[in-house]
């Protein structure tokens, strides 16, 4: 039976490599569409949790995994020798940056090597990891063709960028429009057909490169605009103007303006990373990306700005940062999720510690830190009470979780450095609140 026929009668097995923030909800989408799904991950603990029906990504809801398991059509495995079993393999692995802001495609490369070992005629491979244009064609395709098969005839290869936004309530995987571009027309058409069963709107583009570039444009657009308001925050703060009120005022215009908001730095799996993928590739072809690099510089300077504001505020209260007790509120990179990837809170903690401060954190969504590529803080969230707040010399608001009682924080903290505009609506004195 052809792959097209298997897709049409939903007998195709869908394999998803990487059971994280992208792969896990995608697995649920295909399971809900009636397909058998195999989830591949290198972490045995994740595999065990999934097969037991346990969801380790809290923002996705407790029944996401258990619902898949109850269908009898879902199985997780760490055995990559089984990659030949699925009819379609979707790759959702990390694409971080190296120590010098260069693309680290080791996860993509290792996954491509693993798929190539078991690649069989009739399989469709789709890459979803965010990367620079031509990754699918230059990194994945040669490894598959080395098996002696022809793309578009013996196997099929496409790119479809993930567009997940953890914690967002108004959209979910099934409702976010899906871009799909094939290495060749046949590959693109098959990938489009497959995704249409799980995603409400699938948008074909002419090539994998167009789809790769579109994802970068989406996140570079956000990074550049966030850099703009981060720079304006510093300027307006120096002028004693509330940047958040300025943004709200500008947003009353019904056209020609989209609101972006400043913060202590960039976090998450896309915006701090993706622009540098294009910058690196542009240098390879001899063209500068001055605008993108400037935005990156502005955003990367924001943790230093917040720390400098904290040091200055402590000094005004006759306190040296060395020996001060500082509480950082929010470890996640954005409100109301447990996602700490690339979170600027980690950098804030390390910088404050480097200046001699004793630093704790509180986050209602992140009970403990875990080992990451750049950080291993070995910290646990402390209790947030009126008494505990009063015991700190300064409180830094790094993430504006909705669970926080900001009035209580304002009433009991001695000094607040607010990098998110979270304290704008509190009543009473604002003299101890410093915008950062």
Residue 414 · residue 317 · CB < 8 Å: yes
CA 66 to chain centroid: 24
Q: Please, what is the Cα angle at 169 between 373 and 179, to 5 degrees? A: 70
- The residues pairing with 156 across neighbouring beta strands, listed in sequence order, are 124
| E-only strand ranges, 23-113 | 36-40, 74-77, 88-91
Question: Which is the catalytic residue, given 69, 92, 151, 270?
Answer: 270
Residue 308 contacts by C-beta under 8 Å, 6 or more apart in sequence?
none
CA 244: distance to chain centroid?
A: 24
Cβ–Cβ under 8 Å, residues 402 and 371? no
The closest alpha carbon to 165, from 414, 39, 343, 337, belongs to: 337
d(CA 130, CA 160): 9
DSSP 359: E
Cα–Cα distance, 431 to 415 (Å, whole number): 9
151 assigned to active site? no
Q: Which of 403, 339, 329 is nearest to 370 (CA)?
A: 339
- Alpha-helix residue ranges (DSSP H) falling in 43-105: 44-51, 63-71
Helices (H), 63-207: 63-71, 106-118, 135, 141-145, 185-196
377-408 burial, b at 16+ Cβ within 10 Å, e below that, comes to bebebeebeeeebeebbbbbbbbbbeebebee
Q: Quick one: which of 132, 169, 426 has its CA closest to 280?
A: 132
65/55 Cα distance (integer angstroms): 6
Q: Both tokens of residue 407?
A: 């009035």
Residues identified as active-site: 270
């Amino acid at each position: 039976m052809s792959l097209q026929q298997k897709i049409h009668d939903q007998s195709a097995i869908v394999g998803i490599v990487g059971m994280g923030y992208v792969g896990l909800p995608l697995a649920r989408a295909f399971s809900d569409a009636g397909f058998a799904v195999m989830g591949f991950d290198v972490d045995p603990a994740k595999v065990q949790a999934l097969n037991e029906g346990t969801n380790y990504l809290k923002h996705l809801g407790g029944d996401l995994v258990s619902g898949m398991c109850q269908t009898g059509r879902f199985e997780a495995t760490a055995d990559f020798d089984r990659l030949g079993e699925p009819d379609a393999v979707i790759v959702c692995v990390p694409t971080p940056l190296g120590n010098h802001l260069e693309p680290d495609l080791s996860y993509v490369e290792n996954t491509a090597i693993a798929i190539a070992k078991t690649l069989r005629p009739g399989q469709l491979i789709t890459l979803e990891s965010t990367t620079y244009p031509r990754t699918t064609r230059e990194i994945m395709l040669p490894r598959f063709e080395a098996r002696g098969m022809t793309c578009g005839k013996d196997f099929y290869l496409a790119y479809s960028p993930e567009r997940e936004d953890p914690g967002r309530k108004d959209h979910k995987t099934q409702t976010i429009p899906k871009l799909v571009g094939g290495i060749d027309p046949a590959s693109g058409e098959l990938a489009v057909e497959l995704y249409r069963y799980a995603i409400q709107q699938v948008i074909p583009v002419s090539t994998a490169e167009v789809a790769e570039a579109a994802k970068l444009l989406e996140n570079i657009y956000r990074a550049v605009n966030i850099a703009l308001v981060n720079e304006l925050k510093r300027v307006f703060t120096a002028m004693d103007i509330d940047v958040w009120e300025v943004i709200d005022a500008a947003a009353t215009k019904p056209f020609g303006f989209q609101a972006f908001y400043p913060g202590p730095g960039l976090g998450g799996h896309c915006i701090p990373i993706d622009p540098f993928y294009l910058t690196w590739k542009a240098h390879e072809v001899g063209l500068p990306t001055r605008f993108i690099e400037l935005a990156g510089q502005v955003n990367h300077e924001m943790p230093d700005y917040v720390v400098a504001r904290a040091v200055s505020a402590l000094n005004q209260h006759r306190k040296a940062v060395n020996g001060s007790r500082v509480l950082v509120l929010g470890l996640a990179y954005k409100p109301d999720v447990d996602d700490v990837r690339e979170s600027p809170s980690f950098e804030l903690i390390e910088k404050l510690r480097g200046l001699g401060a004793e630093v704790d954190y509180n986050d209602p969504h992140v009970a403990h830190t875990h080992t990451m590529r750049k950080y291993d803080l070995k910290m646990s969230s402390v209790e947030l009470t009126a008494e505990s707040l009063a015991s700190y010399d300064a409180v830094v608001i790094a993430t504006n979780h909705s669970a926080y009682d900001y009035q209580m924080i304002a009433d009991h903290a001695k000094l607040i450095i607010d990098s998110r505009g979270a304290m704008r609506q509190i009543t009473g004195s604002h003299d101890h609140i410093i915008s950062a």
